[in-house]
Structure 1
Amino acid sequence: MSTANTAKLKEQFDAGLETRADFTIDQPMHRYGAVDHAVWKQLYTRQTALLEGRVCDEFLAGVRQLDLSADRVPSFDAINAQLTHATGWQIVAVPGLVPDRVFFEHLANRRFPVTWWMRRPDQLDYLQEPDCFHDLFGHVPLLINPVFADYIHAYGSAALAASDAGALPLLARLYWYTVEFGLIRDAASPNGVKIYGAGIVSSKGETLYSQLSDAPNRIGFDLERVMQTRYRIDTFQKTYFVIDDFAQLFDVAQTDFAPLLAKLAGEPALAAGDICETRDAGRIITRGTQEGWAIDGDV
């Protein structure tokens, strides 16, 4: 999602790129060097091979439909030529993580902010802030899917309202457990799930952990449960929420969030690894062993 005033964002501003009031820039194609393109190629090759049979079919269809370059950092303009025609979305280049309200205003107007810069070769497996590979490879292929595209659009509008109402953490959890770290049911796959969240598809480690590890909980999606559950930003997730299909997210997109936010605002949050025996009854797909879990640090 987004956080203002990060060190990386300041670095990008100091680099002299012309940044507009909405934090967008023109993608500086001339700034990509041989190392940037090599890192993109290495990550693209690794992840597309790893994701075969593990990621949802809609994601792979999006990669093919957008004709993402395998060898070099793609042109955002070339992607928009496909994306805007298909779902009315476009991607816009940004220097890095942007303020929450700016981020939500972009989503509410069918614009997805994509960080322009690429990680270094020594950061292939872990990066503190999202780079171009995470934002572009992880998020954009599903934006060409009409149902998922409508969900993100509705989410942006709801998050703006939540920001005004002081209920942003509730919507942040929804984004985290769907857009970033969502799983989808697939009876033929390990633990009955496939991957669709961007934070998983762009990460070798989380791709394998989310689907194969015995440590995390995997629980059927429930909107209120998700919005009350804290999450991890420093380790693999303790809990993943599993949607039945993208039509379920379309139903979420039709939700009148105002009364729901008011209802949940005063209720205590659940820890990232909690299982609520009564509330989760019938929706527990796998109960995690908790191996390797940190004791504290939930967000």
Structure 2
Amino acid sequence: MQQQLNDVEKASVPVSAPAQPERADWTIDQQWENYTAEEHAVWKTLFERQTKLLPGRACDEFVAGMHALPIGADQIPDFRRLSEVLMQHTGWEVVAVPGLVPDEVFFEHLANRRFPAGQFIRKPNQLDYLEEPDVFHDVFGHVPMLMNPVIADYIQAYGAGGLKAKQLGMLEQLARVYWYTVEFGLVEQPDGLRIYGAGIVSSYTESIFCLDDPSPNRLRFDLERVMQTRYRIDDFQETYFVIPHLETLLDLAKIDFAPLYEKVKHHPQFEPGDVLSTDVVLTAGTSNYHRAKR
């Protein structure tokens, strides 16, 4: 991957994690007082770069959430202050974790309206690529959307659904739904397509690529289609799925996924760049970016 061109964010999807820490729920103290001046400076660089870019790109709900939270340029946010505001509005809180956590722990936190956020921040030489989600991805990317009641309910439902999907052996299919919505989702607004996915909104180059570049496909979101579609974890997405409005996610939160799992289990799996005859195509991509790299 060409790191100078792509600041892909490693999204907060559950994967295998290292040896268990002291607490069973994997939470740690943020120890906000221990952040160094250099670490606050990295946050400031990332924050200012994104906030200059996102007007006209991020959805209205993200902008509103950012304005309502104690998130600024000068220092890494204090999770305690974030949680105070979130709790008053949507009942969520932010808990610090050392990095990626096991599936069950991740889902258990979400199901109980606790968002596990990486406590560390990337190094100055990692501004454009990171192996796992840090405090900038998790807080800047995810937390503003948790101020929105629709997203707040949807992510909680995903946590509860994840525990069931793991028992049924269908976690990969459900993870694709999270990936193409919470992490890399686009939404239609009256004034055009906008970003609501945290993996995009916290990435400088993908914030441009997903809306401006002719290479990716932009398709109408369809649940079964998404559950059958693989995704890119190491580069820009080849396809973005677009919902007509955020309330669409509330409908997803109410669905019984068990019959769907049984149905898609026997269906073909699609590659990230596939376009099907049944797709509602908003933008047919040229695929030039990924074709050149292949």
TM-score (norm. length: structure 2): 0.92
User: What residue number does 1:251 align with?
Assistant: 251
How far is 1:294 from its partner?
5.5
3-state SS in 1 of match to 2:241: strand
Q: Could you tell me which residue of structure 2 aligns to residue 138 of structure 1?
A: 141
Query: What is the aligned partner in structure 1 of residue 36 from structure 2?
Result: 33
Question: Which residue number corresponds to residue 263 of structure 1?
Answer: 263
* 228 and 148 in structure 1: CA distance in 2 versus 1, 3 angstrom threshold: same
Q: How does 1:114-153 map to 2 (within 5 A)?
A: 114-153=117-156
- Aligned amino acid, residue 274 of structure 2: D
Structure 1: unaligned runs, 5 residues or longer? none
> Once the 2 structures are TM-superposed, how far is the Cα of residue 38 of structure 1 from its aligned partner?
0.3
Quote the offset at 1:4 in angstroms: 2.1
**CA drift at 1:30:** 3.2
CA pair 53-37 structure 1, distance change in 2 beyond 3 A: same
Q: Return the offset for 1:268.
A: 2.1
Q: Which amino acid letter does the alignment assign opposite residue 199 of structure 2? A: G
SS of 1:175's equivalent in the other structure is helix
Amino acid at match of 1:235: D
- Is 1:100 matched with 2:103? yes
Work out the CA distance in 1 between the residues paired with 2:45 and 2:147: 24
The separation in 1 between residues aligned to 2:33 and 2:22, in whole angstroms, is 16
Partner Cα distance (1:19, 1:197) in 2: 32
- The one-character-per-residue Cα deviations of 1:204-238 (angstroms, maximum 9, x if unpaired) are 01000001000000001111111110000011000
Shift of 1:292: 2.2
Q: What secondary structure sits across from 2:178 in the alignment?
A: helix
Aligned partner of residue 275 in structure 2, secondary structure: coil
CA distance in 1, matches of 2:34, 2:70: 22
In structure 1, what is the Cα distance between the partners aligned to 2:60 and 2:79?
23
- Cα displacement (A) at 1:296: 10
Q: How many residues align?
A: 282
Residue in 2 aligned with 1:286? 283
CA distance in 2, matches of 1:178, 1:247: 12
Distance 1:188 1:196 in 2: 15
Instruction: State which drifts further: 246-255 or 19-28.
Output: 19-28
Over 2 Å off, 4+ runs: 186-189, 294-297
Note if 1:2 corresponds to 2:14. yes
**CA apart distance, 1:264:** 1.2
1:273 maps to 273
1:51 maps onto 2:20 in alignment = no
- Deviation of 1:137 after TM superposition, in Å, equals 0.4
Paired letter, 1:216 = P
Aligned residue for 2:23, secondary structure, equals coil
Judge conservation of contact 2:165–2:174 (CA < 8 Å) in 1: yes
**Cα shift readout 1:81-114 (whole Å, capped 9, x = no counterpart):** 0001111111110000001111011111111100
1:69, distance to aligned residue in structure 2 (A): 2.4
Which stretch of structure 1 is more off in the superposition, 286-295 or 31-40? 286-295
What one-letter code is carried by the residue in structure 2 that aligns with 1:231? Y
Farther-moved stretch of structure 1 (135-144 vs 25-34)? 25-34
The secondary structure found in structure 2 opposite 1:246 is coil
**Counterpart Cα distance in 2 of 1:296 and 1:157:** 38
Q: Secondary structure at the match of 2:288?
A: coil
Which whole-Å CA distance do the structure 2 matches of 1:294 and 1:97 have between them? 31
Indicate conservation of the 8 Å contact 2:189/2:245, yes or no. Answer: no
The answer to whether the 8 Å contact 2:229/2:272 transfers is: yes
What is the letter of the counterpart of residue 225 of structure 1? R
- Cα distance in 2 for partners of 1:295, 1:156 equals 38
Q: How does 1:175-254 map to 2 (within 5 A)?
A: 175-189=178-192, 193-254=193-254
Which of 60, 64, 67 does residue 67 from structure 2 map onto? 64
The CA RMSD over aligned residues, in Å, is: 1.6
Q: Quote the offset at 1:31 in angstroms.
A: 2.8
TM-score by length of 1: 0.91
Residues 224 and 119 of structure 1, relative CA distance in 2, 3 Å threshold: same
Gaps in structure 2 of 5+ consecutive residues:
1-12
Q: Is the 8 A contact 2:70 2:77 kept in 1?
A: no
**Is 1:20 the counterpart of 2:23 in the alignment?**
yes
CA 1:261/1:214 → structure 2, altered by over 3 Å: closer, same or farther? same
